[in-house]
Amino acid sequence: MTAEIENIGFISTRFAGTDGVTLEAYKWARVLEGEGHRCFWYAGRLEAPPEASGCVPEAFFGHPENLWINERIWGKTARSPLVTRRIRAMSEYLKETLYDFLRRFDVRIMVLENVLAIPMHVPLGLALSELMSETHLPAIGHHHDFYWERTRFSVNAVNDYLDMAFPSRDRELQHVVINQSAQEELARRKAVPSLLVPNVLDFENPPPPSDGYAADARVELGLAPDDILILQPTRIVPRKGIGHAISLVQALADKRCKLVISHEAGDEGTDYLETLTTYAKKAGVDVRFFATRVADTRQVNGQGQKMYTLWDLYPHADFVTYPSFYEGFGNAFLEAVYFKKPVLVNRYDNFARDIEPKGFRCPIMEGYLTREIVAEVRRILEDPAYRQDMVEHNYQVALRHYSYAVLRRRLRTLIINIRGLANV
């Protein structure tokens, strides 16, 4: 990258917490700032410093006005004139706030984080598409998952807006996707090219040594010194395939094995949680639900108990389960590799196409557990040398393919392309 410094504005509905979009945006910003660029933030919810951000509550997908709109456009095939007027009014207001943000920080390049891919906030997507048409400001659309990948968006009353803005075909908009399937489908549906930039972790710098904060995590989990901690580092939603993790522990037939699930059920209801609880009880599997003690940051809860982050738990894990049926990429897989933990994976499509060919070594399911897979997991748990060789190999593979160095090269390409377009 040349010495020219750019002011880069990250724009989405939310940059807060530990959702995938937020985490990947922070990684991009870290790499860009390492190259000398300045990054600024616009969203409805923000954890960025006020002096480098513009927080507009109406831009959050959970804002009451946006929720009102969403209730009337999804699962419907027609919208009323009133809904159209309120979409347009909110879009116009947000466009003005975006202009203010761009002027305030002299933003020269926008990074649009998933806001033109998933239509959680239709007015914001329209505002951005119109702004690009009016300003010709260069932008990078970082698309994590598209609306056509989600059943709940298939019946809607806004096909005209989806065609226009999710994503738009603006000449100055460069598209970035995180897997091959999305790249192909975007080209088929929108006739636009895209650059594949995988999710990454800082494999050049291994996890820091324990600072002692989480040294008591196993005790707080109620584990004995010789217990085997099998970690399921995901939310409790059906697509995570957690029933397979319970089946694995049952098949291992070792009372020392305890399955720890790190996160809550989220916004998809508790039916799946209840189903898993019943299944685990019948299978005789000891499952520890630890979501009430896991937070985005270290803190103390209302009962005076320490709260841990997910990264506080990984060092204590003996094995990681990741039997998802579908993932846009697979951050939990990379995290297990980063912490040098063996991991069981279900061969979901994007893993099979994008990740597995890189040469990782791990037990891989084909939608169901087999005796061979269970035997492989047992060997990993019982043979320290075999396990160490596996995790060291995986770390080196990830260092080559999913490190910040990979992201740095792809971002340089995008910036060079933007500068090239500016001179056409």
Give the pairing of strands 306-307 and 299-300: antiparallel
Instruction: Render each residue's pLDDT in the chain as its tens digit; 424 residues.
Output: 445 889 999 999 999 987 889 999 999 999 999 999 999 999 999 999 999 999 999 999 999 999 999 999 999 999 999 999 999 999 999 999 999 999 999 999 999 999 999 999 999 999 999 999 999 999 999 999 999 998 889 999 999 999 999 999 998 999 999 999 999 999 999 999 999 999 999 999 999 888 899 999 999 999 999 999 999 999 898 999 999 999 999 999 999 999 999 988 765 668 899 999 999 999 999 999 998 899 888 999 988 999 999 999 999 999 999 999 988 888 999 999 999 999 999 999 999 999 999 999 999 999 999 999 999 999 999 999 999 999 999 999 999 999 999 999 999 999 998 877 554 4
| Distance separating alpha carbons of residues 45 and 59, to the nearest angstrom | 8
Task: Please tell me the predicted confidence (pLDDT) of residue 353.
Answer: 93
What the block records as the tokens of 118 is: 């998933």
Domain 217-401 has CATH 3.40.50.2000: yes
Residues forming a β-bridge with 196: 177
Task: Please tell me the predicted confidence (pLDDT) of residue 61.
Answer: 96
Cis peptide before 167 (omega within 30 of 0): yes
Task: Please tell me the predicted confidence (pLDDT) of residue 210.
Answer: 82
State the number of CA atoms in the 13 A half-sphere of 371 facing the CB.
0
Q: Which CATH class is domain 7-200+404-422?
A: alpha beta
Task: Please tell me the predicted confidence (pLDDT) of residue 33.
Answer: 96
Question: Taking phi first (over 0 means left), then psi (-120 to 50 degrees means alpha), and beta for anything else, what does residue 115 get?
Answer: alpha
What residue spans in the chain does CATH classification 3.40.50.2000 cover? 7-200+404-422, 217-401
Longest dimension (CA), the chain: 67
Task: Please tell me the predicted confidence (pLDDT) of residue 1.
Answer: 41
86, 80, 93, 85: which is closest to 68 by C-alpha? 86
Q: Encode pLDDT of 159-168 as tens digits.
A: 999 999 999 9
Task: Please tell me the predicted confidence (pLDDT) of residue 2.
Answer: 44
Contacts 24+ apart (CB under 8 A), 409-417: 410/176, 410/195, 410/197, 411/28, 411/31, 411/32, 411/35, 411/197, 412/1, 412/35, 413/195, 414/140, 414/174, 414/176, 414/195, 415/1, 415/6, 415/109, 416/1, 417/174
Say how many C-beta atoms besides its own lie within 10 A of residue 12's C-beta.
27
Task: Please tell me the predicted confidence (pLDDT) of residue 280.
Answer: 95
Residue whose tokens read 């949680």: 273
Core vs surface per residue 390-399: b (16+ CB within 10 A) or e = bbeebeebbb
